[in-house]
Structure 1
Amino acid sequence: MGNSFGCSASGERLVSAARDGDFVEAKMLLDCNPCLAKYSTFGGLNSPLHFAAAKGHNEIVALLLENGADANSRNYCGQTALMQACRYGHWEVVQTLLLFRCNVTRADYLSGRTALHFAAVNGHVRCMRLVVADFVPSAPFESMETQKIGDTNDVSIVKSKHEQSALSKFVNKAADGGITALHMAALNGYFDCVQLLLDLHASVSAVTFHYGTSMDLIGAGSTPLHYAACGGNLKCCQILLAKGANRMTLNCNGWLPLDVARMWGRHWLEPLLTPNSNSIIPVFPFSHYLSLPLMSVLNIARECGMQMSATPSDDGDTCAVCLERACSVAAEGCGHELCVRCALYLCSTSNIPSELLGPPGSIPCPLCRHGIVSFSRLPGTPAKESKLHLSLGLCTPCMLHPREQEQSTPSGSQDIRKNRVVAVSSDLFCPVTCSPFPSVAIPLCTCNDGPCPNFEAGENQTQGDSPTPSQSASVDSDKLEAVRLGKATCSSMFWGRRSCSREHRCNAEINA
């Protein structure tokens, strides 16, 4: 890993430059010894790429990758630079790592979290949009409609079903304890993330397992609606119900989402979560963060590169957005030409819907506002020279080649007992960590005289008397008080304490 005595001092200098954003120092060190890009620290095994990605220094990230840094290198916790960038919301770094074909499906050693989990926990919706870019083809929603009507092109239907299957498996990939990205976004009240995940075929019926962590305060066998009820965000509960979530689902403790809301003091959710509720659920459009042309422009950027800065003599061939680079891509439909950098930036940042001029997920053209579904490469655009090392080769995630049969989701029933989630034995799952999501802070609200003034999750609320428990969930008041006042503490298991110290050691190096 480049930790020999000869390069240790220079490697530490490169680590400091990557952490501080000193591009001149980093370039000087890499010009003298390009092998320093593969250096890693002795304690947490963090590479300079981990430090630069966590701090959001995109230029240094690109410099390290061009000098042979491994985009998929892991630290002591098994976390990659992509996970660090998604943790702190640096979408430009995520974009650069995707251009070097990093593996988005890798999970860390501690709790099986992917980059999608890290982005969902902290509500970084732009990072989530980029992470799923290689799984979202152009116009998947139109292809779904043509399947319902009956398309004669069987080949396109099979391909579309395969792409949707790979996307669904990636989005619904569970960390330890069965926690999906949708669970975490719903718990923390990030409505934009919940809406995007649901539009990307996230399952509203995914349940958690017995795990022995602080998240079991909600209960094993809980659906995203249980987690949204605990978080207290009204919009998250509404969109989950609009997408097919069932109010009658019981977790392994016998609690409905209504019971969870009452236990955590979310009184404003009771009219919505009551089993016989007459509340009107609004109709939600598709997420504004869907980006259909992102896959096409990413592939073009990988082939042509991003450093084409030569401005042609003819002003008509210059990008009309930046006025600096030559046009290399054309929008299918309106035909307007842009440079690949501006097109990629547009697809990564735009959240303005173009429903009138294109299908859901299309990006409005900056010149005519026409909905762009995909980009095509202009003829004559030179391809960049391949300088990637073997470690930066093509990524072929196993998610793209599914081997297992998809499990069919059982249809919802009105009978409460039929919707009870069967308890899963904890012996089947190894408790590797005491807190798979240590950054999650469940807000507490114990007011019992009327609705709370703050409806958004994540805000600190004062504690008072114990709320009245639901009649359907006969739980002792002492048990409720212990649950409500419980905090995310380490378990008494050795592996849990060890895993916490491992992640603390890795993060302490980066945040030093």
Structure 2
Amino acid sequence: MTRLIKACLAASLALLGSAALADDRGAFERAIKQDNESAVRSLLARGFDPNTRNDKGSPGLYVALQEGSLKVARMLIDSPRLKPEDRNATDESPLMMAALKGELDLAKRLIAKGADVNKPGWAPLHYAATGGHLDLIRLLLEEHAFIDAQSPNGTTPLMMAASYGTPEAVKLLIEEGADIAMRNQQRMTAMDFARRAERRDAVDLLTQAERYKAQSRPQAPRGTW
């Protein structure tokens, strides 16, 4: 009988613990959406895991950045227990979302905490280029981001800038040495991306870069062909 009582007691405690965890998780998700800094501080003080994911598999920091809940995002980044490279279900990192949103200060904090600038596959530089955020592009390049990083289908940051970013982002990447001739798995160059998106400004910049590259190419001496 004693064993049965102990087993029932253990099961009851486990259920209570699960219910409390579910309640805290719900409170955490609400606090993120409301950018409620004090609520998150209270949860963390009670030992709540700052890396807790929502039902879609996204960690709290990623969701906070996605929602624009910047007070909560700063608090989570400052938590000693944060895992800065925890990613969502589609392998996106918090640094990638900060880059897409143009959050320079938070991106700096994440990098200082060990976020991966050169994450394999889609990388933070792809996202900064997509958003056209020049300061983020410069920061990532200063932190040794590979300028011609290739996504799983071979798409580069320059291609993303040419299709979705700004002319200034295209110009900056070209000036920093992005390879305008690279092709993705569909054999598309940055010029192809710009034309498909009907981005006349990007087409003009890439045309100028192609002309400059052709003019700069060493000419073979006469009589050698």
TM-score, scaled to structure 2 = 0.77
**Counterpart among 71, 79, 83 of residue 103 in structure 1:** 83
Q: For each residue in 1:413-472, what CA deviation from the matched residue of structure 2 results, as whole angstroms up to 9, or x when unmatched?
A: x8xxxxxxxxxxxxxxxxxxxxxxxxxxxxxxxxxxxxxxxxxxxxxxxxxxxxxxxxxx
> Quick one: structure 1 residues 202 and 40, their matched pair in 2 at CA, closer, same or farther if it must change by over 3 Å?
farther
- Output one character per residue of 1:215-256: Cα deviation in whole Å (capped at 9) or x when no partner: xxxxx3111101110014111112212222011112222222
**CA distance in structure 2 between the aligned counterparts of 1:202 and 1:49, rounded to whole angstroms:** 33
Is 1:59 the counterpart of 2:38? The answer is: yes
Residue of 263, 276, 279 corresponding to 2:196? 263
Find the residue that maps to 1:171 and give its secondary structure: coil
Matches within 5 A, 1:168-183: 170-174=116-120, 178-183=121-126
| Runs of 4+, deviation exceeding 6 Å | none
Paired letter, 2:150: V
Cα root mean square deviation, aligned: 2.6
Establish whether residue 254 from structure 1 lines up as the match of residue 197 from structure 2.
no
Q: Distance in 1 between matches of 2:110 and 2:68?
A: 12
CA separation of 1:259 and 1:66: change in aligned 2, threshold 3 A: same
Give the equivalent residue in structure 1 for 2:22.
Answer: 39
Aligned to 2:128: 185
Q: 2:140 maps to what in 1?
A: 197
Taking a change above 3 Å as real, the CA distance of residues 246 and 63 of structure 1, as seen in their structure-2 partners, is same
Aligned length: 200
Deviations 1:81-114 (A, max 9, x none): 1112221233332332233221111112x21111
Which residue of structure 2 aligns with residue 126 of structure 1? Answer: 105
Instruction: Describe how 1:369-380 pairs up with structure 2 within 5 A.
Output: none
Does the CA contact (< 8 Å) of 1:82 and 1:94 recur in 2? yes
CA gap of 1:7–1:182, structure 2 versus 1, over 3 A, is: closer
Q: Is the 8 A contact 1:72 1:81 kept in 2?
A: yes
* Matched-pair contact (CA < 8 Å) for 2:131–2:164: yes
CA positional deviation for 1:3 = 9.0
- 1:276 counterpart = 2:210: yes
How far is 1:50 from its partner? 2.8
**Structure 2 vs 1, CA of residues 40 and 207 (structure 1 numbering), >3 Å: closer, same or farther?**
farther
1:240 aligns with 2:173: yes
User: How many Å separate the matches in 2 of 1:51 and 1:126?
Assistant: 24
Q: Tell me the CA shift for residue 7 of structure 1.
A: 8.7
1:236 partner amino acid: A
1:128 is displaced (CA, Å) by 1.5
**Where do 1:15-30 residues align within 5 Å?**
none
Q: Residues 91 and 82 (structure 1 numbering): CA distance in 2 closer, same or farther, change over 3 Å?
A: same
Counterpart residue identity of residue 196, structure 1 = L
Match of 1:87 among 66, 85, 103: 66
Deviation at 1:61, TM superposition (A): 1.0
Indicate whether 1:226 and 2:159 are aligned: yes
Contact 2:97 2:127 (C-alpha < 8 Å) held by counterparts: no
CA contact (8 A) 2:182 2:189 kept: yes
Q: Report if the CA contact (8 A) 1:232-1:261 is conserved.
A: no
Match of 2:93 in 1: 114
Q: Deviations over 1:357-379 (max 9, x none)?
A: xxxxxxxxxxxxxxxxxxxxxxx
Cα distance, 1:273 vs structure 2: 0.7
Gaps of 5+ in 2: 1-12, 218-225
For the structure 1 residues 230 and 257, does the alpha-carbon distance in structure 2 shift closer, same or farther, using more than 3 Å as the test? same
User: Counterpart amino acid of 2:176?
Assistant: K
CA contact (8 A) 2:51 2:60 kept: yes
Q: Deviations over 1:283-319 (max 9, x none)?
A: xxxxxxxxxxxxxxxxxxxxxxxxxxxxxxxxxxxxx
Q: Distance in 2 between matches of 1:49 and 1:113?
A: 21
Offset, 1:6: 9.3
CA distance in 1, matches of 2:188, 2:18: 58
Q: How does 1:238-387 map to 2 (within 5 A)?
A: 238-274=171-207, 276-278=210-212
Q: Taking structure 1 as reference, are residues 222 and 99 closer, same or farther at Cα in structure 2, changes over 3 Å only?
A: closer
Closer/same/farther in 2, CA of residues 7 and 203 from structure 1, 3 Å limit: closer
Structure 1 residue 127, shift from structure 2 partner: 2.4
Structure-1-length-normalised TM-score: 0.36
Equivalent AA in structure 2 for residue 171 of structure 1: V
- Is contact 1:86-1:127 (8 Å) kept? no
The structure in which a higher percent of residues are helix is: 2
Sequence identity (%): 28
Matched residues in 1 for 2:14 and 2:100: separation?
Answer: 33
